[in-house]
Structure 1
Amino acid sequence: MKKRKLLILISIAGVLIGTAFLVVHFLLAKKPKHDDLNQRKFIAEQKDTKSQLDSIASTFDVRICRYDQDVKNLDLNHLQEGLKKLGQNYSGLFIDADTWTYPEAVQQMYNFLTDSYIVELYKEVDKQYPSLDFLQTELKQALTYYLYYFPGSKIPTFYSFVGGIDPESNMKLVWGQESGEQLSIILHLDWYLGKDNPYYGILPQYIRYQCDKRFLAIDCFRNVLVQEHLPNREPITLLDNMIDAGKVIYFTEMMFPEQPMVDIFGYTEEELTWAKQHHGDVWNYLIENDQVFSKDSKIIRYLIDVAPETKPFKGSPGRMGQFIGWMIVCKYMENHPETSLEELMNMTDAKAVLNSSGYKPQKQS
């Protein structure tokens, strides 16, 4: 009898252990994995999360102000009057409220609007962007995830802008401006006309590739909104820069769970394939040459900055330091599922993130 009871208890324990295993397996299956870089985080598939996202989406609207159109539609015969109204609507952002009172400012606007280059550029922008409804939809979805991860965050107002394409200006394609409680994001539409557009003919291919409308919404997050959640400090070592860049990419990925990684990174398929296959080679090179904790600005630039390739790795895409930083962050988050996105963004000890990530790739070549 005792033996029978013991067998029953063992059977029950086996069932409980098996059930627990299935539950853990299910939870891990729902957890984001990065063994395959194209595997996405479809968080909205979870019913409770979808309900929260739907509720969040109902609390805000996305506002895109067409400053570019308001400028283009100024009446040249009544330009001073038009500038006065423009100054009232956009004071402190693009134009001062009293700009219309300065004859030289009125003349500058007249020269801008009658310049043949600007006239043709506006025609191209109008052709590419007769409406920004698609962008409003993309921003709405991404901002819903943004508020899901960062409740109470500011919702920016977006402004479309056309200022002329100056390759020497180093102007960000999307940039933000904060004033009190108001966060503004400016969208340079003339920098998103498509990689093959003749206006970008003198630009290198790796720059032209990202001059596409599919990067507009993404750039709002990876260039501007992510800065609201990074620690206010300057990275010092190569590893500091890598982890910071990795957090930016991970943050952006979480805001766009259905976007392919080529868009999140701004890589081509070939570049992403190279990065997946050879990140171990790059990482082990950095270790063998004692560069992981280097403070050499040249080494940091080679690994982090936008460039046609990552020196000294032949055939590589640029920004391999960013890619490896993202891999480290992903491994860390997989090993520490209790860590929230907000907690990750606030981390300042890059070495601790690396040590806790378990990132130890092997050489491939």
Structure 2
Amino acid sequence: MNLSTAKYLIIITIGLIFYSCKNDPLDIDVSSVDVTLNVKRFDQQLFGYEKITDKEVDELAKKYNPFYTAFIENIVSIGNVNDPSVYYYLNNFTHDKNIKSVQKDIDNLYNDFNDYEIGLKEAFQHYKFYFPNKNIPQIITYNSGFNYAVVTDSSYLGIGLEMFLGDKYPAYKQLGLPQYKIASMTNKHLVSSVMLGWISTEFELEQANADLLTEMVHQGKLLYVLDALIPIEEDSIKINYTNKEVKWSNANEKQVWFYFIDNDLLYTKETKEIIKYMGEAPFIQGFPEGSPGRIGHWIGWQIVKAYMDNNQELSLTDLIKEKDAQKILNKSKYKP
């Protein structure tokens, strides 16, 4: 190969890379999308009190409601928010030796929340770009004592920081959490998990007693929306798989799909079967070694990607509005 040919190939290669990037429908510049993200550190304020009295309770209620009410009554379930003794129960919670230790670890890892705030803001800029009429929630961080990783309401998105302390955090194993779950309880997964939690409540599956195909396509739609909100994130982070599990899913996609077809599983409504392929699990029973749980989420994701690739006139809103999973499958021309 002479020098001129080599230069020509380099130019062609660079051109192809540039062309592919420019034609990625999710490669959107959102720097001009105006989003103000309001982040409140409820955990730091709550545990910053040396002693909680009625005065502190009033402060928390005024600053954080309706989240404060949800925290008291549902997230940590320590009583009724209007109970005159609620300050007493809050003191018990914040002065518990184990809970205080967890909060110290939260402070060590998340004292500076700026990087995560930037990541969340960029995600919500994409969200506002695609769904301009949707509400941008305030972000509230908390320590629930290992109860909830993400809680949402129309006005807020709560993040349980104790659920993102790292896959080596000793308390997780002490609590008996399975390793496949612990693997995604890291700060690297925070933005992705939080945004998936938000869109899962914003775009819920409305159909009751749905079949497996509908469940798969619904989860695929959520993951595709996540693709749009955090387009530079790795697939493994978005679906909470290890890199090895992503490789297995890619390598066995065809076999899994034909297994569903050959066993007439796409239209089953049996709860046991749906949980087997959609529920949290270390592996799929009866599948070859290395299979990850929630393989139905992965297949649904690939179907939706094919649907959007083959119907590029459709917007993200169009995708969300389309409720007919069979239509999505047919128009996707999905062939793994």
CA offsets 1:325-346 (integer angstroms, 9 cap, x no match): 0111111111111111110111
- Is the counterpart of residue 55 in structure 1 residue 25 in structure 2? no
* Corresponding residue number in structure 1 for 2:7: none
**Residue 288 of structure 1, CA deviation:** 0.8
Distance 2:150 2:122 in 1: 19
- Is the counterpart of residue 193 in structure 1 residue 165 in structure 2? yes
Structure 2 unaligned spans of 5+: 1-17, 73-79
| Residue type of the alignment partner of 1:174 | V
| Residue type of the alignment partner of 1:175 | V
* Corresponding residue number in structure 2 for 1:140: 121
CA offsets 1:144-199 (integer angstroms, 9 cap, x no match): 11111111221110100102125xxxx4x112012xxxx21010000000011001
**Residue 220 of structure 1, CA deviation:** 2.4
Give the structure-1-normalised TM-score. 0.79
| Residue type of the alignment partner of 2:318 | E
Structure 1 unaligned spans of 5+: 1-25, 33-40, 45-49
**Residue 93 of structure 1, CA deviation:** 1.8
**Residue 30 of structure 1, CA deviation:** 4.0
Aligned with 1:267: secondary structure? coil
| Residue type of the alignment partner of 1:176 | T
- Is the counterpart of residue 86 in structure 1 residue 60 in structure 2? yes
Aligned with 1:131: secondary structure? coil
Contact 1:75 1:82 in 2 (8 A): no
- Is the counterpart of residue 224 in structure 1 residue 198 in structure 2? yes
* Corresponding residue number in structure 1 for 2:153: 177
Contact 2:42 2:141 in 1 (8 A): yes
CA gap of 1:226–1:106, structure 2 versus 1, over 3 A, is closer
> Once the two structures are aligned, what percentage of the paired residues are identical?
28
CA gap of 1:69–1:216, structure 2 versus 1, over 3 A, is same
Aligned with 1:159: secondary structure? strand
- Is the counterpart of residue 157 in structure 1 residue 138 in structure 2? yes
Contact 2:306 2:332 in 1 (8 A): yes
* Corresponding residue number in structure 2 for 1:9: none
Distance 2:201 2:22 in 1: 28
- Is the counterpart of residue 258 in structure 1 residue 242 in structure 2? no
Contact 2:54 2:87 in 1 (8 A): yes
| Residue type of the alignment partner of 1:335 | N
CA offsets 1:231-277 (integer angstroms, 9 cap, x no match): 63336100000000100111101111111111111110100000000
- Is the counterpart of residue 71 in structure 1 residue 59 in structure 2? no
Contact 1:68 1:161 in 2 (8 A): yes
CA offsets 1:48-99 (integer angstroms, 9 cap, x no match): xx3xx2221xx221111010011001231x62221121122123322399x8
Q: Following superposition of structure 1 onto structure 2, how do residues 314-333 of structure 1 map, counting pairs within 5 Å?
A: 314-315=288-289, 316-333=291-308
Aligned residues between the structures:
309
| Residue type of the alignment partner of 2:246 | L
* Corresponding residue number in structure 1 for 2:86: 105
* Corresponding residue number in structure 1 for 2:185: 211
- Is the counterpart of residue 280 in structure 1 residue 235 in structure 2? no
| Residue type of the alignment partner of 2:32 | S
* Corresponding residue number in structure 2 for 1:297: 271
CA gap of 1:218–1:331, structure 2 versus 1, over 3 A, is same
Aligned with 2:274: secondary structure? helix
Distance 2:206 2:81 in 1: 38
| Rg (Cα) greater in structure | 1
* Corresponding residue number in structure 2 for 1:340: 315
